[in-house]
Each structure stands twice: as C-alpha cells, then as structure tokens.
Amino acid sequence: MDLKRTLNKWGELLGNPDWYSAVVSDIEDIRKEYNDKGEAEQNGVKNGIYDFFERHIRANDIALDEYPPDADAERKPIDTIVIHHTSNPPGMSRERLSAIELVRLYAPEFAAPKRAEDAGMKGRPIYSGHFREGRQVFWPYHWFVRGDGTVERLLEDDEIGWQAGSWDVNCRSAAICFDGNFENARPLDVELAAAARIIKEHYPQVAHERILGHREVNPKTTCPSNLFLSSAHHRGWKNDLLLLLK
C-alpha cells in the first residue's frame, strides 16, 4: 500500500462524520502488509500515520462531534490506579498523544463498538467529551510522568480515561503513564518517586493491592513493562513503587 496516496485519501475524508471507517480498515491492511518487515520500516509507517493525524489535530479540520452526550456519566469513585508507559521515545507532546489515541483507541471503537449500549456511536462523529482550550483531546491518562520526575495533569479525576481495556476499570480508576519505552527497562528512581507522590497526594484512598499494571487488567498487553512484575529471576519494579508508598 502506498502510504502517501493513502494519507492523501484520508485527507479528503476527514470532513466526513464517519471518516474513521476507512482509516481503520486501511490501517488493518497496512498492519498486515508490514507485519513481516523490519522494526525500522514498521516504525516509519507508524510515525507517518501519527504525524498525519497530529498535523490535522493542530489544524482543527477533523470532523468531531461538537455536542456529545455526557462521556463521563458512568464515572465512579476512584478505587484503582493503573500504571502505563507510552512504549514510545520520551518527550511525547500532548498533541502527539492525542493523535495516537484518536487513531489507536477512539477510531476502532466508533467503527465497531464493543458494548451493545454503544452501538449508536457507529457512523456518528467521534467525541471524547474532554475539551482543553476549546478543542477535544483524546488522552487516556490522568497523569504523565516525565523523565526528570516532573508530572503533568492530563485528564481530571471526574473524566473517564479509555486506558485499561476494561470499561468497569476505566470507570473507577486513575491512569498514570510514564513518558518513554519501559518494555524491558525500569523507570528511574526520580520517575518512580514522582508516581508515588501522585498516588500519596491525590489517591490515598486506593489500597495498595489496587495499584495495577495495565497488563494485570488486560492480559493482551505487556504494558507497562516486562519487568513490572516480580519473577523467579528478578524483583519487578512494581515492588519498588509500592515500597515508596509505605
């Protein structure tokens, strides 16, 4: 598949309410075509797609629902924390994160809603119901932890993040994401201390056994790390995080 030609086609569709239907189908075809290619080639295509959507999010020319239903009507008291990593190079901008999750999370869900009660979403413009500076954002996380230990608030606690792979957990959890790829690495001490500080200051009511890695909620992913959980060979860095909370 010629990526440049595909992106040009998408550019002509973005004003349509259901632009995402073609995009989701095309991305699946691209994934199949590049499945046996090298990592560099796969990353090049992936970044090309994300670059495209980041540009159009900045240009504000994607058809989105301006007056969506209350996207957070099912929000429950927070009793769970879910830990993530971006699995991308550090330094991700908020616009980049929004573009990635628009494509990765929202587009597939609107193209083929999983829950019967969401069937009405299909065919209508995508919405998150989360606005910043007059524009919708598609962040799945409540907090971002940067490599130097600084933290950024993304979603507010009364907003549901589409992040856990379980709607029930989404509705009752806050998501903390490390900015970087920790698939086979441990966050720095300063990053773990920052995450612990978020939990202590904002979610003291959450029991330690309800502090979970994304992989503990959704077994289809290894997020936030292959090294998060303890094994016979090493002590997982989840242990280090929990120790900081004592």
Q: Per residue in 160-182, pLDDT tens?
A: 999 999 999 999 999 999 999 99
Q: What is the pLDDT of residue 5?
A: 94
Q: Of 205, 204, 192, 173, whose CA–CA distance to 242 is shortest?
A: 192
How many structural domains compose the chain?
2
Look up residue 53 and give its two tokens.
């959507």
Look up residue 162 and give its two tokens.
């589409």
* Mean pLDDT to the nearest integer, 146-150: 98
* Mean pLDDT to the nearest integer, 67-73: 83
Domain around 33: 3-59
Q: Where are the beta strands (DSSP E) in the chain?
A: 80-85, 131-132, 135-136, 143-145, 151-153, 173-178, 211-213
pLDDT over 90 (residue 62): yes
Q: What is the pLDDT of residue 66?
A: 77
Does residue 190 fall inside a structural domain?
yes
Q: List CB contacts of 98: < 8 A, sequence separation 6 or more.
A: 54, 57, 137, 138, 139
Does residue 176 fall inside a structural domain?
yes
Same domain, 137 and 225: yes
Does residue 12 fall inside a structural domain?
yes
Total-model pTM? 0.94
Look up residue 90 and give its two tokens.
């550090």
Q: What is the pLDDT of residues 91-117, one digit of tens each?
A: 999 999 999 999 999 999 999 998 898
Does residue 101 fall inside a structural domain?
yes
Same domain, 111 and 54: no
* Mean pLDDT to the nearest integer, 148-163: 98
* Contact between 227 and 186 (Cβ < 8 Å): yes
∠ CA 148-150-156, rounded to 5°: 150
Distance CA 66, CA 226 (A): 40
Same domain, 92 and 214: yes
Q: List CB contacts of 240: < 8 A, sequence separation 6 or more.
A: 186, 192
What mean pLDDT, rounded, does the chain reach? 95
Q: What is the pLDDT of residue 39?
A: 87
Same domain, 206 and 96: yes
Q: What is the pLDDT of residue 71?
A: 86
